[in-house]
Amino acid sequence: MDLDAFFAAIEQRDRPELRGKPVIVGVGGTNDRGVVSAASYEARRFGVHSALPIRTARRLCPEGVFVPVDGAKYQSVSREVMAILRRYTPRVEPISIDEAFLDLRGTRALQGPPEEVAKAIKSTIQAELELTASIGVAQTKLVAKIASELRKPDGLVVVPPGTATAFLAPLPIERLWGVGAKTRQALADFEVKTIGDLADLPADLLTRRFGSMGPTLAARARGIDPSPVSDGEAAKSVSHEHTFDIDTADPEVIERTLLGLADGVARRLRAGEVKAGTIAVKIRDAAFVTITRQRGLTEPTDMAEPIWRTAIDLAKPELRGMRVRLLGVAATHLTDREQLVLFPADERLRQVVRATDSIRERFGSRAITRARLLRSGVPEPFERDPMSPPDGGLGRAPGERRPQREET
């Protein structure tokens, strides 16, 4: 199940004046320093797509309506969608904020054939949330994912059992998992343009050319995918980033920004009832050179202050003479285990934090904030992809082409 133009669709749903217009949702602000997070189908006709720089989107679509990301709202709607999916099966594997796999084995007697379940899910999402979803139905996650992308928006593609190889054969090779630009270039040496072309290649040839990846490519080209639907893998990291409108070397601005990011990370840790054992910072300068640093904590935490102070200690040595374009804070090595202490030293502070979290939960994330963050220019932190990779999203930025220097 894949929601259609999710962020943009929510904005069009909640703001009727945007319906039918090219809506472009920007991450890092809607100024020219940001990137496109989502584009409505009206905007896509102009060539606008996710990960495109905002300045490029403005050039391609001068009539576009640019809207900042509202992460809290999108995540709230995502939770509603996932709750709908779990009405039909307990085996739901979210793979991003707007996509999920469902395992319907054993549900036929109660729910009916898979195609009817897919129709019911689409209808329920439309009726309750006023959003459209595209669904692919197949025997494997690989084929179902590809099928969900073929008739967007509001699509439904069913691949009957035993037809996966024929279904995949005419599709362009770039639709196959694991085939990026380099692999596609290598396959071009064998005149491979479609998935069917790949399926026709001898398995030993693929092994000689791609090593251990060769048999995997051969299997995928025939629709073979043994990976099961996982009903909830614990998050490996939590991270937030901020791109400055103008590159800065101001220590006060940098410290304040790190505080805002640490506060957002800490709130998500508490919401997930986990604590972080390691803190990492990400720094990108005006030349797009990126450095990451990380440090283990003496004891796991879900409080903003120790995360912030660790982030400052990690960042300061790297900032001499640097104009900063982007900052990020990540929490990794998450654990729900807590060592009990007889007299907790920070109990009063924790009571304040609990009260603050309660206010934000009831009245919204901007209802209460730190005095130091007032008019700071730091937006409400939001992670573009909640299903973050193990490195906490500290790698290359979407759409980035320049080489980086990565250090840990």
The CA distance from 141 to 160, in Å, is 14
Q: Is 224 exposed, middle or buried (0-12, 13-18, 19+ CB in 10 A)?
A: middle
Which architecture, in CATH terms, is 237-373? Answer: 2-Layer Sandwich (3.30)
Q: Is the pLDDT of residue 378 over 60?
A: no
pLDDT by residue (tens digit) across 246-277?
889 999 999 999 999 999 899 889 887 889 99
- Helix (H) or strand (E) holding 385, with range, is none
Strands 99-102 and 237-248: unpaired
Which structure tokens are listed for 242? Answer: 């901020």
The CA distance from 391 to 383, in Å, is 13
- The three-class DSSP label of residue 25 is strand
* 54 close to 67: Cβ distance less than 8 angstroms: no
The CA distance from 204 to 209, in Å, is 9
pLDDT by residue (tens digit) across 169-226?
999 999 998 788 888 888 999 999 999 999 999 988 999 988 888 898 999 999 999 8
Region 140-149 average pLDDT: 96
Q: Which CATH class is domain 164-221?
A: mainly alpha
Report the DSSP beta bridge partners of residue 36: 26
CA distance to 69, 112, 178, 307, per residue, from 238 (Å): 18, 38, 25, 12
The CA distance from 122 to 134, in Å, is 8
Q: How many CB atoms lie within 10 A of CB 240?
A: 26
Give the active site residue among 11, 42, 93, 99: 99
The CA distance from 99 to 385, in Å, is 11
* 37 close to 187: Cβ distance less than 8 angstroms: no
Contacts of 122 (CB under 8 A, 6+ apart): 132, 133, 135, 154, 156
Q: Which stretch of 3-7, 354-358, 382-386 has the lowest confidence by average pLDDT?
A: 382-386
Q: How many CB atoms lie within 10 A of CB 369?
A: 16
Which architecture, in CATH terms, is 2-71? Answer: 3-Layer(aba) Sandwich (3.40)
The CA distance from 47 to 295, in Å, is 42
Which structure tokens are listed for 96? Answer: 């991003």
Percent with pLDDT over 70 in the chain: 85
* pLDDT tier, 382 (very low <50, low <70, confident <90, very high otherwise): very low
Q: Is the pLDDT of residue 84 over 70?
A: yes
- Helix (H) or strand (E) holding 281, with range, is strand 275-285
pTM score > 0.75 for this model? no
Listed by start position, the domains of the chain span 2-71, 164-221, 237-373
Q: Is 103 exposed, middle or buried (0-12, 13-18, 19+ CB in 10 A)?
A: middle
In three-state form (DSSP H/G/I as H, E/B as E, the rest C), the secondary structure along 30-59 is CCCCCEEEEECHHHHCCCCCCCCEHHHHHH
**400 is a catalytic site residue:** no
Please tell me which residue, 30 or 141, carries the higher pLDDT value.
141
